[in-house]
Amino acid sequence: MHKPPCIVQLADGASLQVANARLNSSKLFITEQNQSGPKSAINILNSTLTGIGDAGFQIRLAHVGSQVTVTNSQITYVLSIGISVGAVDDPAAQLIVLNSQMTSDDPRSEGIVLVSTGRGVFTGDRFAVNPAQQTALVFAQNCSQALTVGSNKQCQEQ
Protein backbone atom coordinates (compact mmCIF):
# COMPACT_ATOMS: atom_id res chain seq x y z
CA MET A 1 0.00 0.00 0.00
CA HIS A 2 1.44 3.35 -1.08
CA LYS A 3 1.57 5.93 1.72
CA PRO A 4 1.65 9.60 0.77
CA PRO A 5 4.60 11.61 2.10
CA CYS A 6 4.27 13.88 5.10
CA ILE A 7 5.14 17.35 3.81
CA VAL A 8 5.80 20.21 6.23
CA GLN A 9 6.01 23.64 4.59
CA LEU A 10 7.37 26.39 6.82
CA ALA A 11 6.00 29.91 6.46
CA ASP A 12 8.55 32.66 5.76
CA GLY A 13 10.79 33.17 8.79
CA ALA A 14 9.26 30.23 10.67
CA SER A 15 11.06 27.88 12.98
CA LEU A 16 10.35 24.27 13.86
CA GLN A 17 11.56 22.53 16.98
CA VAL A 18 11.33 18.82 17.71
CA ALA A 19 12.52 18.33 21.29
CA ASN A 20 12.46 15.28 23.55
CA ALA A 21 10.19 13.52 21.07
CA ARG A 22 9.65 10.27 19.16
CA LEU A 23 8.39 10.81 15.63
CA ASN A 24 7.43 7.93 13.33
CA SER A 25 6.48 8.71 9.75
CA SER A 26 6.43 7.41 6.22
CA LYS A 27 8.34 9.77 3.92
CA LEU A 28 9.01 13.11 5.66
CA PHE A 29 9.87 16.25 3.69
CA ILE A 30 10.38 19.64 5.39
CA THR A 31 10.79 22.75 3.28
CA GLU A 32 9.78 26.40 3.00
CA GLN A 33 6.63 27.58 1.24
CA ASN A 34 8.37 30.16 -0.93
CA GLN A 35 11.69 30.15 -2.76
CA SER A 36 12.78 33.40 -1.09
CA GLY A 37 12.03 35.04 2.21
CA PRO A 38 13.41 35.48 5.73
CA LYS A 39 15.60 32.74 7.17
CA SER A 40 14.08 29.60 8.65
CA ALA A 41 15.35 27.41 11.48
CA ILE A 42 14.88 23.76 12.39
CA ASN A 43 16.10 22.35 15.68
CA ILE A 44 15.96 18.61 16.45
CA LEU A 45 17.00 18.00 20.06
CA ASN A 46 17.10 14.79 22.13
CA SER A 47 14.69 13.11 19.71
CA THR A 48 14.24 9.93 17.69
CA LEU A 49 12.85 10.20 14.15
CA THR A 50 12.09 6.89 12.47
CA GLY A 51 10.82 6.02 9.02
CA ILE A 52 8.13 3.37 8.74
CA GLY A 53 8.52 1.02 5.77
CA ASP A 54 10.10 2.41 2.60
CA ALA A 55 10.72 5.87 3.96
CA GLY A 56 13.02 8.78 3.30
CA PHE A 57 13.80 11.94 5.28
CA GLN A 58 14.57 15.28 3.60
CA ILE A 59 15.02 18.84 4.85
CA ARG A 60 15.51 21.55 2.23
CA LEU A 61 15.87 25.15 3.44
CA ALA A 62 16.88 27.60 0.71
CA HIS A 63 16.36 30.98 2.36
CA VAL A 64 19.48 33.05 3.02
CA GLY A 65 20.81 32.47 6.55
CA SER A 66 18.67 29.44 7.33
CA GLN A 67 19.87 26.95 9.95
CA VAL A 68 19.34 23.29 10.83
CA THR A 69 20.64 21.89 14.13
CA VAL A 70 20.47 18.22 15.14
CA THR A 71 21.68 17.50 18.68
CA ASN A 72 21.70 14.25 20.69
CA SER A 73 19.21 12.67 18.28
CA GLN A 74 18.71 9.58 16.13
CA ILE A 75 17.34 9.73 12.58
CA THR A 76 16.65 6.39 10.86
CA TYR A 77 15.04 6.22 7.39
CA VAL A 78 15.85 3.25 5.15
CA LEU A 79 15.74 4.93 1.71
CA SER A 80 17.59 8.21 2.32
CA ILE A 81 18.48 11.01 4.69
CA GLY A 82 19.17 14.38 3.12
CA ILE A 83 19.60 17.79 4.71
CA SER A 84 20.35 20.81 2.53
CA VAL A 85 20.65 24.31 3.99
CA GLY A 86 21.24 27.66 2.32
CA ALA A 87 20.79 29.63 -0.84
CA VAL A 88 23.41 29.79 -3.58
CA ASP A 89 26.51 31.62 -2.29
CA ASP A 90 25.03 31.89 1.21
CA PRO A 91 27.85 31.91 3.79
CA ALA A 92 25.33 32.60 6.61
CA ALA A 93 23.60 29.19 6.23
CA GLN A 94 24.40 26.68 8.97
CA LEU A 95 24.08 22.92 9.40
CA ILE A 96 25.15 21.72 12.83
CA VAL A 97 25.01 18.03 13.81
CA LEU A 98 26.23 17.17 17.31
CA ASN A 99 26.39 13.80 19.07
CA SER A 100 23.74 12.31 16.80
CA GLN A 101 23.25 9.11 14.82
CA MET A 102 21.85 8.87 11.29
CA THR A 103 21.09 5.53 9.65
CA SER A 104 20.04 4.79 6.06
CA ASP A 105 21.51 1.39 5.33
CA ASP A 106 19.01 -0.45 3.13
CA PRO A 107 20.57 -1.83 -0.11
CA ARG A 108 18.15 0.43 -2.06
CA SER A 109 19.11 3.50 -0.03
CA GLU A 110 20.33 6.69 -1.64
CA GLY A 111 22.45 7.14 1.48
CA ILE A 112 23.07 10.16 3.68
CA VAL A 113 23.92 13.54 2.19
CA LEU A 114 24.35 16.64 4.36
CA VAL A 115 24.98 19.99 2.64
CA SER A 116 25.37 23.58 3.78
CA THR A 117 26.26 26.46 1.47
CA GLY A 118 27.74 28.16 4.54
CA ARG A 119 28.97 26.62 7.78
CA GLY A 120 28.87 22.91 8.58
CA VAL A 121 29.79 21.51 12.00
CA PHE A 122 29.76 17.74 12.61
CA THR A 123 31.00 16.54 16.02
CA GLY A 124 30.62 13.21 17.78
CA ASP A 125 28.26 11.76 15.16
CA ARG A 126 27.70 8.23 13.80
CA PHE A 127 26.53 7.73 10.22
CA ALA A 128 25.48 4.26 9.01
CA VAL A 129 24.93 3.63 5.30
CA ASN A 130 24.82 0.61 3.02
CA PRO A 131 28.40 -0.76 2.78
CA ALA A 132 28.27 -0.43 -1.03
CA GLN A 133 28.05 3.35 -0.59
CA GLN A 134 31.01 3.32 1.80
CA THR A 135 30.41 6.67 3.56
CA ALA A 136 27.92 9.38 4.26
CA LEU A 137 28.69 12.57 2.33
CA VAL A 138 29.17 15.83 4.22
CA PHE A 139 29.62 19.07 2.28
CA ALA A 140 29.93 22.69 3.47
CA GLN A 141 31.61 25.87 2.34
CA ASN A 142 33.19 26.28 5.81
CA CYS A 143 33.31 22.79 7.28
CA SER A 144 34.58 21.25 10.51
CA GLN A 145 34.28 17.63 11.54
CA ALA A 146 35.53 15.86 14.67
CA LEU A 147 34.99 12.47 16.28
CA THR A 148 32.55 11.30 13.61
CA VAL A 149 32.21 7.72 12.36
CA GLY A 150 30.95 6.66 8.94
CA SER A 151 31.33 9.87 6.95
CA ASN A 152 33.96 11.06 4.52
CA LYS A 153 37.13 11.52 6.55
CA GLN A 154 37.41 15.19 5.76
CA CYS A 155 34.55 17.57 5.17
CA GLN A 156 34.18 18.17 1.46
CA GLU A 157 34.38 21.89 0.88
CA GLN A 158 32.22 23.00 -2.02
Q: Which pTM value belongs to this model?
A: 0.92
68 vs 130: which has the higher pLDDT = 68
Domains contained in the chain, number: 1
40 part of a folded domain: yes
**Per-residue pLDDT at 47:** 98
**Per-residue pLDDT at 66:** 94
84 part of a folded domain: yes
pLDDT-derived band of residue 19, with 50, 70 and 90 as boundaries?
very high
29 part of a folded domain: yes
Residues spanned by the domain of 34: 6-157
1 part of a folded domain: no
120 part of a folded domain: yes
Convert the pLDDT of each residue in 91-125 to its tens digit: 999 999 999 999 998 888 888 999 999 999 999 89
101 part of a folded domain: yes
Convert the pLDDT of each residue in 22-70 to its tens digit: 999 989 999 998 777 889 999 999 999 999 988 999 999 999 999 999 9
Instruction: Write out the DSSP string of the chain.
Output: -PPPPEEEEEPTT-EEEEES-EEEESSEEEEESSSSSS--EEEEES-EEEE-SS-EEEEEE-STT-EEEEES-EEE-SSEEEEEE--TT-TT-EEEEES-EEEE--TT---EEEEEEEEEEEES-EEEE-GGG-SBEEEEEEEEEES-BSB-SS-EE-
68 part of a folded domain: yes
**Per-residue pLDDT at 98:** 95
**Per-residue pLDDT at 88:** 84
